[in-house]
C-alpha cells in the first residue's frame, strides 16, 4: 500500500489523532506537554528526519561540532520535519536556532520539533517557520552537546520515532503516527471528524449531553 501524503492530515488536530491512536491501541504517541509551539497558530505536519544528541563537556581537538546536523539539514526534502532528540527536558542542549530554521525553510521543510531548547526565538517567530520546543535558552551546543547520529530511531518528548513517521503538531501538542499504521489512523480520523460534527450539531440544539453521547459515543 502506498504511503499517504501527510498534507491530508493538515485539517485534523493533535487531539483527534491522539484519540484515534488510543482506539487502535497505539499508546504513548503524544509528546510530553513541555514540548510547545513557538507560535500557537501553527499546524505542523510532515515526515520525520531524526537527529540524536548526547551531552558533552568539552570540545575535542579537531572536532567539527556541527557536522552531523549540517548534513541532516542539507539533506532535507520538502515536507519533512526535523526531529531532534535531546533527552529533554534539559537546561543545556539548545540544538535549534535562526540559521538552521532559515536553511530548513529554504528547503521547504515543514518544521522542527525538539525536546531540547531553542534560541533566536524572536527571529524564528518572524520567519513564520513552525518550531515545537522543550524550552528557550541562549546556549550554543558547541562543547555542551553533539549530534551523534541521524535518520535513526530516537525518543523525543517521551515518544519513540522512526524516520518517515508522520509528525503532527498544533497548539494541543505533538503526536507521532507510525508509518505502518498511518492508513488506519487516517481512515479512523476521518470517521471521528464526521462523528464529532454530528455530535456538535446535536449539542448546539440543546439536546442533553448524555443522550448525544449515547447516540454517537463521542465526547
Distances (CA, A) of 61 to 58, 64, 130, 144: 9, 9, 35, 14
Q: Is residue 38 part of a domain?
A: yes
**Mean pLDDT taken over the chain:** 93
Looking at the fold, whether 97 and 153 belong to one and the same domain comes out as yes
Contacts of 116 (CB under 8 A, 6+ apart): 53, 84, 86, 88, 90, 93, 94, 95, 96, 133, 134, 135, 145
Q: Output the nine-digit C-alpha cell for 64.
A: 567539527
Whether residue 216 has pLDDT greater than 90: no
Strands 36-37 and 166-170: unpaired
Task: For 78-118, write each residue's pLDDT tens digit.
Answer: 999 999 999 999 999 999 999 999 999 999 999 999 999 99
The CATH number linked to 138 is: 3.50.30.40
The predicted-structure confidence for 134-183, as pLDDT tens digits, reads as follows 999 999 999 999 999 999 999 999 999 999 999 999 999 999 999 999 99
Identify the pLDDT of residue 19: 94
Q: Is the pLDDT of residue 203 over 90?
A: no
Is residue 196 scored above 80 in pLDDT? no
Q: Do 169 and 197 belong to one domain?
A: no
User: Is 96 found in the same domain as 55?
Assistant: yes
Residue 1 lies in a domain: no
Task: Give the H or E element holding residue 100.
Answer: helix 98-106
What is the domain range of residue 140? 6-178
Note the pLDDT of residue 48: 98
Give the pLDDT confidence score for residue 195 in this predicted structure: 63
Whether the predicted pLDDT of 212 surpasses 80: no
| pLDDT at residue 1 in the model | 67
Flag whether pLDDT at 64 surpasses 90: no
Residue 214 pLDDT: 78
The percentage of residues in the chain with a pLDDT greater than 70, rounded to a whole number, is 96
Cβ atoms < 10 Å from Cβ of 95: 28
Residue range 57-70: average pLDDT? Answer: 88
Q: Is residue 89 part of a domain?
A: yes
- Judged by DSSP in three states, 89 sits in coil
Q: What is the pLDDT of residue 60?
A: 83
Amino acid at each position: 500500500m502506498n504511503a499517504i501524503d501527510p498534507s491530508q492530515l493538515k485539517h485534523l488536530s493533535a487531539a483527534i489523532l491522539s484519540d484515534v491512536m488510543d482506539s487502535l491501541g497505539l499508546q504513548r504517541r503524544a509528546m510530553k506537554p513541555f514540548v510547545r509551539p513557538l507560535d500557537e497558530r501553527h499546524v505542523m505536519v510532515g515526515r520525520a528526519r531524526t537527529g540524536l544528541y548526547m551531552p558533552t563537556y568539552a570540545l575535542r581537538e579537531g572536532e567539527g561540532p556541527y557536522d552531523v546536523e549540517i548534513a541532516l539539514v542539507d539533506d532535507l526534502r520538502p515536507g519533512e520535519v526535523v526531529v531532534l532528540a535531546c533527552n529533554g527536558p534539559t537546561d543545556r542542549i539548545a540544538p535549534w536556532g535562526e540559521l538552521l530554521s532559515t536553511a530548513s525553510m529554504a528547503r521547504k521543510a515543514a518544521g522542527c520539533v525538539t525536546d531540547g531548547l531553542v534560541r533566536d526565538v524572536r527571529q524564528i517567530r518572524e520567519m513564520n517557520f513552525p518550531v515545537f520546543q522543550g524550552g528557550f535558552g541562549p546556549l550554543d551546543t558547541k562543547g555542551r552537546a553533539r549530534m551523534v547520529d541521524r535518520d535513526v530511531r530516537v525518543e523525543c518528548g517521551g515518544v519513540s520515532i522512526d524516520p518517515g513517521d508522520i509528525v503532527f503538531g498544533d497548539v494541543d501538542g505533538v503526536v507521532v503516527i507510525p508509518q505502518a499504521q498511518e492508513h488506519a489512523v487516517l481512515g479512523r480520523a476521518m470517521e471521528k471528524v464526521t462523528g464529532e460534527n454530528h455530535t456538535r450539531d446535536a449539542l448546539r440544539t440543546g439536546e442533553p449531553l448524555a443522550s448525544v453521547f449515547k447516540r454517537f459515543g463521542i465526547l
